[in-house]
Structure 1
Amino acid sequence: MKKLTSALLLYWLSTSTACADEYFSNILSLIKPPHSHTSVIATDLVNDSVIYEENADILLLPASTQKLLTAVAATAALGNQFNYKTEIYSHFPIRNGKIMGDVFIKFSGDPTLTSLELRELFKQLTDQGLLQIEGDLYLVGEKHEELQAPGWVWDDLGICFAAPVSSFIINKNCVHGQLKPTLASSASQIQFPSYLPVIIDNSAIFDKNSTLEFCNLSLQRLTNNHFNLTGCHSGNRPLKLAIAITEPALFARDTVAQIAKSSQIKVTGKILLKDTLPQHRSLIASHQSKALPEMLNTMLVKSDNLIADSLLKQIGHKQYNRPGTFTNGSKAMVQILTEEGVDLTHARIVDGSGLSRYNLLSARQLSQVLRLIYTDPRFMSLMESLPVAGISGTLKYKPSFTSAPLRKYVWAKTGSMQGVDNLAGFIKKPKTDDMLFVILENGQSPIEKEQQLAPFSALFLQTLLDHTAAPTELNATTAKSVIAN
């Protein structure tokens, strides 16, 4: 009797799966965007069973869902105690308010380092009585760095979400300002802190009445952190600017020169760049970033590209004991995740942020990374760092995620760029099994995006919740009936 009951139950489960496939196929035929490439996979994490999948193995642009891979690889390779250190060394001790020789500031590629924290470093020196450096001040970092990954879109490079990834990072290698209209004409004026060591030439205009057929701003990136803003901006309201610097080492040198001067520490020599520390040195001041878990929280919640790619380089440095690059960092990440059981055989990993148009991942590969986060105690804390629909991060204001049935219950990493709208994460809802999902949409039509009532990801997740609500209760009743008979 028990064998017969088990056989009937297995038959019911297979029939239920077939019905689920038909259910989703019918719904997807209605909600799938007609001009996009889509890939989905949804898994019941309690029963460890696939609820539905379609095109789960095709390779698509992951965009910022790639940061899930970076978070897991960084945790595995670097450990939760990891932090960045910015340190000051000298040959000689401070005596009578002086150091009789050179001083070295070792930069580590800390993506969170600010000019205020550098000022605090100099204050450590003045608190020790230092007033004069009788030598040169060297800024020590990597030489001939790869500042952008292959496949980054060239017209993104002047924008701060694609700021250069360097051992020299201050204030996210980004300059903030404002483009404002003038009252008497169509001319504009740029306002940004005058002490910043950048030059921005501006000939842009405001099309206040929106009469011009073509109106776009253009930013030309010149040498020595020099920029030229041209073109026009439609409307008459001020526009916030966030401009990524082009030469981070030069920016660091000029910023440190200003900080040293305002700290009242006189440098008798020059402020120079160097790629190695002297063999004989003593540590005289240091700053530590926050530990890895807090950085990963910022990276996932805010989709911070600079943190992601700085960590990628650290992974490469740790794995191969050489200066970290996009190349060795990507290779190390693939190796680490493969050892953790993620099959990346046909994937292409080029950076840690997902900015590169050369990255390729499948929904199944992303689901394997999510499963690690859900099941492995080392990575479980990463789930708490995911944006929550209608509550936090990049899902706080995403259309259709700010209200029922998705609000509060979707915990996921977004992945958006021109033509791409991805989502990968979990559904955590009371009285419902925890679910894992990956939804990839590439080749999105700008017209359809503007006209759509809701994103494809939101429609699929609502379908998933509908399927696991009333139908689940009905199926359970059917199962009991089958077993009883």
Structure 2
Amino acid sequence: MNSPATVMIKTITQWCCWWVPCLGCLLVLASCSVSKRIDTIAGKTITHKKELENAHIGITVYNSANGKYLYNSNGNKYFIPASNTKIITCYAAMKYLGDSLPGLSVAEFNNFIVVSPTGDPTLLHPDFANQPVIDFLVKQPKGIFFTNNKWRENAYGAGWSWDDYDTYYMAERSAMPIYGNVLSASGKANALQVVPNNLVTAINNKNNDTTAFASSISRDFYNNQFAVQYNSATQQIVQTPFITSDSLALRLLQDTLHKTFSRPGKFGAANNNTKANSYTVYSQPTDTMLKIMMHRSDNFYAEQSLLMLSNQHLGIMSDAAIIDTLLKSDFKAMPQNPRWVDGSGLSRYNLFTPQDFVFVLDKMKQEFNWQRITTIFATGGGGTLNGQYDSLQGKLYAKTGTLSNNIALSGYLITNKGQTLIFSIMVGNHTSSNALIRKSMEAFLTKLVQQY
């Protein structure tokens, strides 16, 4: 005869054998229920839109608290990410560039210093009034030699649109950028202000209207020859990239500092066999630059960020080399193996999946302070989200991405119930309007905030 304790143990065992599988089933059903509800929302707002019936659409929603996907529709499919690529670059810069950007590498000898560029994009950039590198060079009492033997890149990235060469957002990459590698102009034809004003000796005026302000500026494809159009009723700054080179950057820098830089083949005769004291001159706070990069979707800052990382960790400036290194280390566990070719997303050769972006955004959340993330990323109504998501200010932190026929949005979403969701929405090969797709994305994310 069984004792009461034995009977109780058998009863509990039988109950567990019945309940545990049922609990598992209930959890699966609950997960499926959430996925179905989100699928219904996605269908009403994005995926079943007639205007997008021929487009490729990928949506991934992830709960960072429990590490589970709430929704995956083509989340493992490849899309052209456009400026969502900056999310990947931003993570690497946040992790490895330190608190301040390396502005100049210096080897100091008894009677002179040798300076080497680091790829820092902030030198004499109008975004930054404070210029520590310039201050250092101005106060330097010794002779200055310049060397650059680490550049392994081209001015343009693979897959960039060549016919955008004179648009402000496609500044050339270089080892020592200066003035953002763009020519800026403003004012009227008879009083045009140009920065840098020592880059050109003359600018062709396309019309002779002395009452209108400069409305656009263009550049010859092969030369630093510029032309200005005057059609604006108000003063504005117009920009176009200039063709870069070490010699041009040095000339502009020397003209600004009123100092001469030498470029010897060897330093041996001058240094009397003394050992150099090597150090770095830092320029701007890293997160200040990254915030501008993400809020403005600045291609130039993104490209130079990768080059700074490459110089810092590999001793050369090469996108391909640092990308290969990062893919084999920090990003080796990406759900899908991406094709990553540049820092900004200007290239149509880039291919990432929505799950890839969720993976990187989750790494950010795990590794970095939340306040740091929400400062660098734009929220609703700000940055490239200006005019959108006003009701989600403080609830949405995201990065946009746009190339013709491709649009993306990836980031963080804080719901009314206090959940932090990570999402990525990518639309490729569409022929609809960007405005319609952005409104569809906004409707989808607003519903998620309200219901979850």
Partner of 1:462: 446
TM-score where L is the length of structure 2: 0.79
**How many residues align structurally?**
419
Deviation at 1:89, TM superposition (A): 5.5
Aligned with 1:316: secondary structure? helix
TM-score where L is the length of structure 1: 0.74
Read off the aligned partner of 1:304 and give its amino acid letter.
D
* Counterpart pick for 1:195 among 165, 184, 197: 197
Partner of 2:342: 351
1:371 aligns with 2:377: no
Partner of 2:397: 411
1:448 aligns with 2:433: yes
8 Å contact kept, 1:419–1:442: yes
Aligned with 1:65: secondary structure? helix
1:114 aligns with 2:104: no
Partner of 2:222: 222
Q: What residue ranges of structure 2 are gaps of 5+ in the alignment? A: 1-14, 126-130, 210-214
Per the alignment, do residues 379 and 332 of structure 1 end up closer, same or farther by CA in structure 2, a change over 3 Å counting?
Answer: farther
* Counterpart pick for 1:45 among 64, 80, 94: 64
In structure 1, C-alpha distance between the alignment counterparts of 2:105 and 2:310, rounded to whole Å: 21
Deviation at 1:154, TM superposition (A): 1.2
In structure 2, C-alpha distance between the alignment counterparts of 1:148 and 1:286, rounded to whole Å: 27
Read off the aligned partner of 1:36 and give its amino acid letter.
A
8 Å contact kept, 2:133–2:282: no
1:123 aligns with 2:138: yes
Aligned with 1:336: secondary structure? coil
Read off the aligned partner of 1:105 and give its amino acid letter.
V
In structure 1, C-alpha distance between the alignment counterparts of 2:281 and 2:102, rounded to whole Å: 8
Per-residue CA deviation, residues 258-291 of structure 1 (Å, 9 max, x unaligned), is 1342xxx5x5xxx555688667575699731235
Read off the aligned partner of 1:124 and give its amino acid letter.
K
* Aligned-residue CA RMSD (Å): 3.6
Deviation at 1:417, TM superposition (A): 3.0
Partner of 2:179: 171
Partner of 2:45: 31
In structure 2, C-alpha distance between the alignment counterparts of 1:333 and 1:348, rounded to whole Å: 12
Deviation at 1:369, TM superposition (A): 0.8
Per the alignment, do residues 92 and 193 of structure 1 end up closer, same or farther by CA in structure 2, a change over 3 Å counting?
Answer: same
In structure 2, C-alpha distance between the alignment counterparts of 1:178 and 1:350, rounded to whole Å: 35
Deviation at 1:292, TM superposition (A): 3.9
Deviation at 1:457, TM superposition (A): 2.1
Partner of 1:314: 308
In structure 2, C-alpha distance between the alignment counterparts of 1:390 and 1:176, rounded to whole Å: 30
In structure 2, C-alpha distance between the alignment counterparts of 1:370 and 1:275, rounded to whole Å: 46
Matches within 5 A, 1:93-172: 93=111, 104-114=114-124, 116-125=131-140, 128=141, 138-142=145-149, 145-172=153-180
Partner of 2:293: 299
1:432 aligns with 2:418: yes
Deviation at 1:53, TM superposition (A): 1.3
Per the alignment, do residues 255 and 414 of structure 1 end up closer, same or farther by CA in structure 2, a change over 3 Å counting?
Answer: same
Deviation at 1:8, TM superposition (A): 3.9
* Counterpart pick for 1:336 among 318, 329, 333: 329
Per-residue CA deviation, residues 195-240 of structure 1 (Å, 9 max, x unaligned), is 3323563343599xxxxxxx997542333xx13337x677655553
Identity fraction in percent: 18
In structure 1, C-alpha distance between the alignment counterparts of 2:154 and 2:23, rounded to whole Å: 58
Partner of 1:422: 408
8 Å contact kept, 1:253–1:272: no
Per the alignment, do residues 331 and 194 of structure 1 end up closer, same or farther by CA in structure 2, a change over 3 Å counting?
Answer: closer
Per the alignment, do residues 302 and 3 of structure 1 end up closer, same or farther by CA in structure 2, a change over 3 Å counting?
Answer: farther
Per the alignment, do residues 67 and 369 of structure 1 end up closer, same or farther by CA in structure 2, a change over 3 Å counting?
Answer: same
